[in-house]
Amino acid sequence: MSSGLTRRRGGGGGAGGDNENGESSRVASPAPKAGGSRDTGGPETSYESTENGHKIAFDPRDISESAERSKQPKLTLMEEVLLLGLKDKQGYLSFWNDNISYALRGCIVIELAFRGRVSMQKDSSRRRFPLADRVIEVIDDTLTGEVLLDEALKMMKASEKMSVSSWIDLMSGETWNLMKIGYQLKQVRERLAKGLVDKGILRTEKRNFLLFDMATHPVADGGAKEEIRRRVRNVLTQRTVVLPNSQFLPENLEFRYVRTIAMVCAAYAANVLENALATLGHEARERAFAQVDELLAEYSQWPFGKRAGGASGVGANLGQVIAEEVNNSKDKELQLEVVAACLSVFTRLDSLL
């Protein structure tokens, strides 16, 4: 396979292979540098006068986070990938997947890039390095309102600038450097699942697994997961890809098609894509996997690869619509370069783990 990603057809990620044990094992995040993010201090407070002369205190960040949510899809990339991997009724991930934890950290970096928080460092000499080894920087430290994104954003703001692959490695705990073990994001899958419970997509139940009880998160809103599955099949099986407007992919959302390609490739890297293709026949499923191989190869480079349609002419219009998205946001090319860099890390995922 040209991308270098070994396809394994089991669905979902291992519940125990993430180094995501209890909070007692948490190592403190790296201390912020002097002059770091404004969010490291106490909360800001503003006051608004009412008609009767009373003052009401509020945190301006609450308003900015609410405005942020109104512009974004209901689910983050990480949540969509996790949802694809969850067993609908049992509410947990397959125990045999080594990839999903690492892929979810990559999705965090991609999501921050789509939201305009991080970009490649603007340095012409960066082109001497492979995409994954190019340095990224925080360009906007405004909180997103998504806990995991904000934790990663604060960490990036307070730390030295590092490459895309370094950040994904460190957030995954893939380091022998004890000085940097505090960069690992803990309990990512469980926190994402709880976020999906808060959004009404999942619910929480207790299940007994031999000697212990474990919280599981069965699907409560099947429409959300089915919408993601339809979007995946649309991209991987249709000659002309049209993405309908929905709360999960609003019509006015920037980079709708690039975002969808990133989600499909991330699901593939996380080894959960099979779950979206289960209704296809064997040959159609094989063609869909061939198509995602091509997409990953084309969009893990920058500028994005040119295409005239993938396997059997699937997605013949993708090159044009994505070129239009890129051309309409020329000032954000450094952010899209981060997306491509994360996908390039996904192409060699199996060799990293």
Please state the separation of Cα 330 from the chain's center in Å.
22
pLDDT at 68 over 70: no
The tokens of 4 are what?
A: 């270098």
C-alpha span between 81 and 111 (Å, rounded) = 12
**pLDDT-based confidence at residue 46 (cuts at 50, 70, 90):** low
pLDDT in tens, 175-216: 877 778 888 999 999 999 999 999 999 998 887 766 777 788
Higher pLDDT, 47 or 210: 210
Task: Give the pLDDT confidence score for residue 168 in this predicted structure.
Answer: 96
C-alpha span between 277 and 7 (Å, rounded) = 14
CB burial of 186-203 (b: ≥16 within 10 Å; e: otherwise) equals bbbbebbbbbbeeeebbe
Rg over CA atoms, the chain: 20
| Average pLDDT of span 56-85 | 76
Question: Residue ranges per domain, the chain?
Answer: 67-351
Task: Give the pLDDT confidence score for residue 311 in this predicted structure.
Answer: 55
**pLDDT-based confidence at residue 54 (cuts at 50, 70, 90):** low
Range of 14-18, 71-75, 153-157, 347-351 with top mean pLDDT: 153-157
Cite the beta strand spans of the chain per DSSP E.
Answer: 46-49, 55-58, 118-120, 135-138, 162-163, 205-209, 212-216
Sequence-distant (≥ 6) Cβ neighbours of residue 239 within 8 angstroms? 309, 313, 314, 315, 316
- Write down the mean pLDDT value for the chain: 83
C-alpha span between 342 and 132 (Å, rounded) = 7
Task: Give the pLDDT confidence score for residue 113 in this predicted structure.
Answer: 98
CATH code reported for the domain at 67-351: 1.10.3630.10
pLDDT at 138 over 50: yes
Please state the separation of Cα 137 from the chain's center in Å.
17
Higher pLDDT, 92 or 188: 188
C-alpha span between 89 and 109 (Å, rounded) = 30
pLDDT in tens, 309-348: 555 678 999 999 999 999 999 999 999 999 999 999 999 8
- pTM greater than 0.85: no
Task: Give the pLDDT confidence score for residue 60 in this predicted structure.
Answer: 58
Beta carbons of 287 and 323 less than 8 angstroms apart? no
Task: Give the pLDDT confidence score for residue 90 in this predicted structure.
Answer: 78
pLDDT above 90 covers a percentage of the chain that reads: 61
Region of residue 16 (phi > 0: left; psi between -120 and 50: alpha; otherwise: beta): alpha
**pLDDT-based confidence at residue 95 (cuts at 50, 70, 90):** low
Range name among 22-36, 227-241, 326-340 with the lowest pLDDT average:
22-36
For 11, 45, 48, 55, the CA distances from 52, given in Å and listed in that order, are: 59, 21, 12, 9
**pLDDT-based confidence at residue 275 (cuts at 50, 70, 90):** very high
Q: Which residues pair with 118 in a beta bridge?
A: 138
Task: Give the pLDDT confidence score for residue 217 in this predicted structure.
Answer: 85
Cis peptide before 303 (omega within 30 of 0): yes
pLDDT at 2 over 70: no
Higher pLDDT, 167 or 351: 167
Higher pLDDT, 197 or 19: 197
